Chain A
Amino acid sequence: MEHLHTFLQQVINGVSLGSIYALIALGYTMVYGIIKLINFAHGDIYMVGAYIGFFAITKLNMTFIPALVTAMVFCAVLGIIIERVAYKPLRNSTRIAALITAIGVSLFLEYTGMLIVTPQPRAFPDVIPQTKFNFFSGSVYITNQQAVIFIVAVVLMFLLQYIVYKTKIGKAMRAVSYDKDTALLMGVNVNTTISATFAIGSSLAAAAGILVGIYYTSISPLMGIVPGLKAFVAAVLGGIGSIPGAAVGGLLMGVIEAMVSGYWSSTLRDAVAFGILILILIIRPSGIFGSNVREKV
């Protein structure tokens, strides 16, 4: 029975972790879907979100929801700026050029962050004091923080689906991701649509950043690198360009990671994450929910 409890606990741990990956993966998948760019800097926007939330709470004395909204708005704007400055000029360049620029932006955010807030990790204030919900007399438990993360991720995902499938801007996003030039010809304001996509994706990352701050307490300027890469793997796993795919991919990645840590060795976690990526890319590049796009000559 103990083994079952341990397993259940690992699953719960995995789902919490996975929810965070899912939130970040949603941003990746949206941006990729619309301009076919892997926004390397996405993980760092998540970091910026965490720090904005940190300063909002500690210096401006905001509570959880206002801080969350502040961070999301700030990062939405940051995302738009980055897109305008660094990615827009390269919209018609080679993919290599765009990818290299994205790497540059990522490094810029990380090291400027280090310069501004120093490399020392900060402790995120306890805005959601932890309470545990125990099951099976304590051997399995869920904290309210884990529940909040999961709920927020799910809510945001449904919100995103709504925006993309039921609003005009969402229709524009789908059009641009299908065929940019034709959408332009049909009168869609491509620039605005792309900016909106970045804004939404970045705000989701910011939300993830704050939730991580609350859940894991410590934040540092380089905190975005590894989760960023793993979230990317999650997006690919679920099918890049697919919103439900990103969510499912994120949750799967989280659970797999928890299993690897719990039953094998946590130091090989990263290797396993990348291993999954490579396997998916080789076996089924379109991911779980993606559709096979044939390259036209």
Chain B
Amino acid sequence: MQKFLNKQTVITSLILCALYLLVQISVVFDLLNPFYTLNIILIGINIILAVSLSLIIGFTGQLAIGHAGFMAVGAYTSSILTVKLGQPFPLAILAGSVAAAIIGFVIGLPTLRLKGDYLAIATLGFGEIIKVLLINFEYVGGASGFHGIPHITSWSWVFFLALFTVIFIKNFINSTHGRACISVREDEIAAETMGINTTKYKVMAFTIGAFFAGTAGALFAHYFYILQPNNFGFLRSVDYLVMVVFGGLGSISGSILAAIVLTIINAALQSVAELRMIFFSVLLIAIMIFRPQGLMGNKEFSLQFFNRLLRGGKQRDLAQGK
């Protein structure tokens, strides 16, 4: 019990509760401009996607750029359950996530034998294949889209699922499995030599990442009324890639921060849309050249981080006896 009731956890939980209630009250009593509500929910969904992708790219070092495909699987599967099969929302979300995870597993098994660039192209290819298959799948409307999805995603759903995602992935990273994944990122051959089944962990990370992408997809589908296969192509995958890279490969706080910042920037640039993609592409190039570790590098937000920031390193000098 002691482990859970330390100062950190209590303060964190209080802040999170406060945040949740703040937004919930605003939504229920209509205090917040609906455009902001829409973006807050979108931020939540993007956090799930960024963190899940971070697990694959940032922590396990596998450059997978077909994440939107998993999101699409989750979105469509959950919508089939609610619209065509009349099932309740929680079951639909679960089904969407599981379906995405299964696809992730199936795709991961053969492709994760590839390295670096080849893996990237293969995942890109699979993402596109999923899109093409959906366009040809008349049961879900094909190119005309899947209409009539109930608008049942709410702040509560998004908040708690995002929280769950972050906690789950954080705990995964800090477990032996997570450490194995990190070792795969650092030096795959060394890891293999040390007896770590690299394929197993790569596929594991991939499947978990896909699972949560499916969750996000389900939430997304049930907020935005309509799904269209064309909206889940490479460009969408790039959005999440930018978030992970911008936040820092290997930092969950970074991915969350980046998801928030980039969603807000995206909304703000709506009126100068032609420049939006140019801005993002330049951002991508600039980050890779000037600050490849992104905003947070592979550090997480923590008390010590802020202490160091505030005291400007004096603490360390004292310890060194200067």
Instruction: Consider the complex of A and B and state whether they touch directly, i.e. have CB atoms less than 8 Å apart.
Output: yes
Q: Is the interface of B mostly helix, strand, loop or mixed?
A: helix
Among A108, A225, A232, chain B packs the most CB atoms within 10 A around the CB of: A108
**Cα A103 to Cα B275 with chains together (Å):** 17
CB-CB under 8 A from B128, the residues of chain A are 229, 270-271, 274
Interface residues of A in 276-297 (CB under 8 A from B): 277-278, 281-282, 285, 295, 297
* Beta-carbon nearest neighbor of B193 in chain A: A297
Cα of A295 to Cα of B190 in the assembled complex, Å: 13
Q: Which of B241, B274, B277, B278 contacts A100 (CB 8 A)?
A: B241
- Which stretch from B43-51, B117-125, B197-205, B254-262 is at the chain A interface? B117-125
A105 and B136 within 8 A (CB) = no
**Contacting pair A97 B274 (CB below 8 A):** no
Instruction: Say yes or no: B136 contacts A268, CB within 8 Å.
Output: yes
Contact of A107 among B125, B135, B277, B292 (CB under 8 A): B277
Q: Return the contact of B284 from the options A100, A110, A229, A232 (Cβ within 8 A).
A: A100
Residue-wise interface mask of A (96-124) relative to B, using a CB-CB cutoff of 8 A (1 in contact, 0 not): 11111101111110111011000000000
> Closest A-chain residue to B285, C-beta based?
A104
B318 in contact (CB, < 8 A): no
Q: Which of B16-24, B106-114, B162-170, B214-222 contacts A (4 or more CB under 8 A)?
A: B106-114
- The CA-CA distance from A210 to B60 in the complex, in Å, is 42
A129 at the interface (CB under 8 A from B): no
In Å, the complex CA distance between A274 and B280 comes to 27
The binding surface of chain A is classed by DSSP as: helix
Contact B289 A101 (CB under 8 A): yes
B135 touches A278 (CB 8 A): no
A38 within 8 A of B: yes
A96 and B249 contact, CB distance less than 8 A: yes
A90 on the interface (CB 8 Å rule)? yes
Give the CA-CA distance A95 to B61 in the complex, in Å. Answer: 10
Pair A38/B129 contact, Cβ less than 8 Å: no
Q: Is the pair A105, B281 in contact by a Cβ cutoff of 8 Å?
A: yes
A278 vs B110: C-alpha distance when bound (angstroms): 9
B125 partner residues in chain A, CB cutoff 8 A: 229, 274-275, 277-278
Per the CB 8 Å criterion, the residue count for chain A at the interface is 44
Q: Is the CB of A281 within 8 A of B122?
A: yes
Question: A131 an interface residue at 8 Å Cβ cutoff?
Answer: no
Q: How far is the CA of A79 from the CA of B149 in the complex (A)?
A: 47
Interface residue from B117, B122, B133, B282 paired with A99 (Cβ < 8 Å):
B117
CB nearest neighbor in B for A279: B110
**Is there contact, CB below 8 Å, between B281 and A108?**
yes
A281-B114 in contact (CB<8A): yes
Instruction: Assess the B281–A111 pair: CB atoms within 8 A.
Output: yes
Q: A93: CB under 8 A from chain B?
A: yes
Q: B241-279 toward A: CB 8 Å interface, digit per residue (1/0)?
A: 100010001000000000000000000000000110110
- Asked if B132 is an interface residue, CB under 8 A from chain A, the answer is yes
Is A278 touching B122 in the complex (CB atoms < 8 A)?
yes
Supposing A96-B61, A268-B132, A271-B133 touch, asked if A101 and B122 sit within 8 A by C-beta, the answer is: no
Assess whether A267 is in contact with B132, with CB atoms less than 8 Å apart: yes
Tell me if B117 and A101 are in contact (CB < 8 A): no
How distant is the Cα of A275 from the Cα of B189 in the complex, in angstroms?
28
Which residues of chain B come closer than 8 Å to A281, judged between CB atoms?
111, 114, 118, 122
Q: A111 near B285 (CB under 8 angstroms)?
A: no
- Chain B's closest residue to A106 (CB) is B281
Question: In the bound complex, do residue A90 and residue B289 qualify as a contact, i.e. CB atoms below 8 Å apart?
Answer: yes
Q: In the bound complex, how far is the Cα of B65 from the Cα of A281, in angstroms?
A: 17
0/1 per residue, B39-62, Cβ < 8 Å to A? 000000000000000000100010
> Which residues of the other chain, B, contact A93 by a CB distance below 8 angstroms?
288, 292
- CB nearest neighbor in A for B130: A271
Q: Does B224 lie at the interface of the complex (its beta carbon under 8 Å from any beta carbon of A)?
A: no
CA distance A87 to B184 in the complex (A): 26
Q: Residues of B contacting A112 with CB < 8 Å?
A: 278
Q: Is the CB of B117 within 8 A of A37?
A: yes
CB distance from B62 to the nearest CB of A (A): 9
With A89-B289, A101-B284, A105-B285: A96-B274 Cβ-Cβ less than 8 Å: no
Q: Which chain A positions have C-beta within 8 A of B285?
A: 86, 101, 104-105, 108
Contact A114 B122 (CB under 8 A): no
Task: List B contacts of A94 (CB < 8 A).
Answer: 292
Q: Find B114's partner among A101, A225, A229, A285 (CB 8 Å cutoff).
A: A285
Give the residue among B126, B277, B288 with the most A Cβ atoms within 10 A. B288
* B189 contact set on A, CB distance < 8 A: 295, 297
> Residue-by-residue, is A227-264 near B (CB-CB < 8 Å gives 1, otherwise 0)?
00100100010000000000000000000000000000
CB neighbours (8 Å) of A90 from chain B are 288-289, 292
Interchain CB contact under 8 A, A271 and B132: yes
- Please name the residue on chain B nearest to A111 by beta carbon: B277
Is the beta-carbon distance between B135 and A267 smaller than 8 angstroms? yes
| Complex CA–CA separation, A275 to B125 (angstroms) | 8
Q: Is B238 an interface residue (CB 8 A)?
A: yes
Task: Flag whether B88 is at the interface (Cβ < 8 A).
Answer: no
Supposing A108-B278, A111-B274, A278-B126 touch, asked if A97 and B135 sit within 8 A by C-beta, the answer is: no
Interface residues of A (CB under 8 A from B): 36-38, 86, 89-90, 93-101, 103-108, 110-112, 114-115, 225, 229, 232, 236, 265, 267-268, 270-271, 274-275, 277-278, 281-282, 285, 295, 297
The 5 closest A-B pairs by CB, nearest first: A274-B125, A104-B284, A107-B281, A108-B281, A104-B285
**14 A-B residue contacts at CB 8 Å?**
A95-B63, A95-B116, A99-B117, A99-B120, A104-B282, A112-B278, A114-B274, A115-B275, A229-B125, A267-B135, A271-B133, A275-B129, A278-B125, A297-B189
